[in-house]
């Protein structure tokens, strides 16, 4: 057993392999952004761990080579959301016991505070392929915002935007906020279908709070 604190050959080789697999997976999904490819990579990741930064950068570069690829990615992610009622497992990992609770919560009257932040909603699902949504945000933030607004589950909108919070600068979040749908009508009434603006404000408020404590983001 080593006790010098430095990684040995096995750890170095495993890291290098992870980088190569992550980049290769990104090229695959960026070149052919379909359900089959992303599902394959999701299962591959269970066996060979790789960092999101390697996947996202490679996928972004591949998608940039053809605008049709970006549209295909947006279409795939929108279809997952549209098919949620009949195929919830195609969208996210959800425990069977939580499905009825999710459906009930979506039918109930929404309060402002529920849209601002709802820890229970955020914890009841785990969207598949978070990295795919991050790539879409980078390359077509209008399609990304539309998806966040129209998601069949508020929990999905939370996860989209909280995942972006791990990547986006404050300026990029402000651009998303600027382009989000109006939160209030001309009469000043709250538009309850509007979600993204409140959630992005929540993220920005969190960053300001950290700065007030001298924490760097």
Residue 23 has pLDDT above 90, yes or no: yes
Residue 86: per-residue pLDDT: 87
Residue 1: per-residue pLDDT: 38
CA distances 92 to 159, 177, 201, 204, Å, are 11, 25, 25, 26
Question: What average pLDDT score do residues 80-107 get?
Answer: 76
In 51-173, the DSSP E strands lie at 92-94, 125-127
Higher pLDDT, 114 or 159: 159
Residue 178: per-residue pLDDT: 93
Question: What average pLDDT score do residues 71-82 get?
Answer: 95
Q: What is the pLDDT of residues 96-146, one digit of tens each?
A: 666 666 665 565 566 666 666 666 566 677 889 999 999 999 999 999 999
Residue 162: per-residue pLDDT: 83
**pTM for the whole structure:** 0.82
Higher pLDDT, 86 or 143: 143
Residue 2 has pLDDT above 50, yes or no: no
Residue 75 has pLDDT above 90, yes or no: yes
Structural domain boundaries in the chain:
1-65, 90-212
Residues 6+ apart with CB under 8 A from 59: 25, 26, 27, 29, 30, 33, 131, 132, 135
* Phi, then psi, of 102 in degrees rounded to 5: -65, -45
In the chain, the DSSP E strands lie at 92-94, 125-127
Output the average pLDDT for the chain. Answer: 84
Pairing of β 125-127 and β 92-94: antiparallel
Question: What average pLDDT score do residues 172-187 get?
Answer: 90
What whole-number distance in Å separates Cα of residue 37 and Cα of residue 83?
18
What whole-number distance in Å separates Cα of residue 181 and Cα of residue 184?
9
């Amino acid at each position: 057993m080593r006790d010098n604190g430095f990684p040995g050959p096995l750890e170095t080789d495993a890291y290098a392999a992870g980088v190569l697999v992550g980049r290769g997976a990104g090229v695959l999904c960026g070149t052919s952004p379909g359900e089959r490819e992303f599902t394959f990579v999701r299962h591959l990741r269970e066996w060979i761990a790789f960092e999101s930064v390697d996947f996202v950068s490679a996928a972004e570069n591949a998608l940039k080579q053809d605008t049709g690829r970006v549209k295909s990615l947006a279409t795939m992610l929108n279809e997952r959301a549209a098919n949620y009622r009949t195929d919830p497992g195609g969208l996210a990992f959800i425990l069977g016991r939580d499905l009825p609770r999710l459906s009930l919560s979506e039918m109930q009257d929404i309060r402002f505070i529920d849209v601002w932040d709802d820890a229970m909603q955020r914890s009841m699902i785990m969207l598949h392929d978070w990295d795919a949504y991050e790539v879409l945000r980078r390359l077509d933030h209008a399609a990304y915002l539309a998806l966040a607004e129209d998601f069949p589950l508020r929990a999905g909108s939370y996860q989209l935007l909280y995942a972006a919070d791990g990547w986006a600068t404050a300026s990029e979040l402000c651009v998303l906020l600027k382009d989000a749908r109006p939160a209030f009508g001309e009469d000043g009434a709250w538009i309850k279908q509007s979600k993204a603006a409140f959630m992005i404000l929540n993220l920005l408020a969190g960053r300001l709070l950290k700065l007030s404590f001298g924490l760097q983001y």
